[in-house]
Amino acid sequence: MGIEPVHVAVLAGGQSRRMGRDKALIEWDGQSLIARVLAAAQPLQAPLFIVGDPDQYAHLELPVHPDLHPGLGPIGGLHTALATAASPVLLLACDLPFLTPEFLRMLVGRRGIHQAIVPCTADGAQPLCALYEPSCQTVIESAIAASKRSMRGLLQQLAVDELGAEVWRPYDESGLLFANFNTPEEVARVQGQH
């Protein structure tokens, strides 16, 4: 039996309420945030798709799949990604502009007996920059059926390979590997540091 190929799914379904506009399309160094995430993932040469509004992201010329269960947040996006790929999924939020191909390659390279491979920082687990196996799907469906939408709550029910700082820090030259954006103020602050 061959190893199932990993698909890369970029989550662009958020409503970005705190941002006031679609954060995936915010410009950073002349590129939209989502374009930067896609650029980091492309060297993996894995099938790549977006979970979001097909009309909004058609210009990126990639498959775009709407949420199977709209309005559930990231757990709905993960469910859609796994259902679409029918294989392991590297799930990436659309607003992680400092990801690198080297880091993503390392993450995918750690596949083994776990259901999920998730980096952990001082802020806790990073479930929107993680690899999920198809075996997660039944747990996700149960959580959705029980109206449990917390991604970190979901991780507590999975066999997770937690990557501590000693694993991911060598890939984080800028100190911003997991920086993401929920408000215009956060964008301005990180642009000031970068």
The model's pTM is 0.88
In tens digits, the chain (194 residues) has pLDDT values of 345 689 999 998 655 443 344 566 666 567 778 889 999 999 999 999 999 988 888 888 899 999 998 889 899 999 999 999 989 999 999 888 889 999 999 999 999 999 999 999 988 999 999 999 999 999 999 999 999 999 999 999 999 999 999 999 999 887 888 877 665 565 555 555 55
DSSP-derived 3-state class of residue 4: coil
Q: What angle do CA 87, 90, 93 make, to 5 degrees?
A: 135
Strands 48-51 and 89-93: unpaired
CA dihedral (186, 190, 191, 193) positive or negative: positive
Structure token pair of residue 12: 């662009």
Position 115, amino acid:
Q
Contact 6, 89 (CB under 8 A): yes
Whether 158 contacts 115, CB under 8 Å? yes
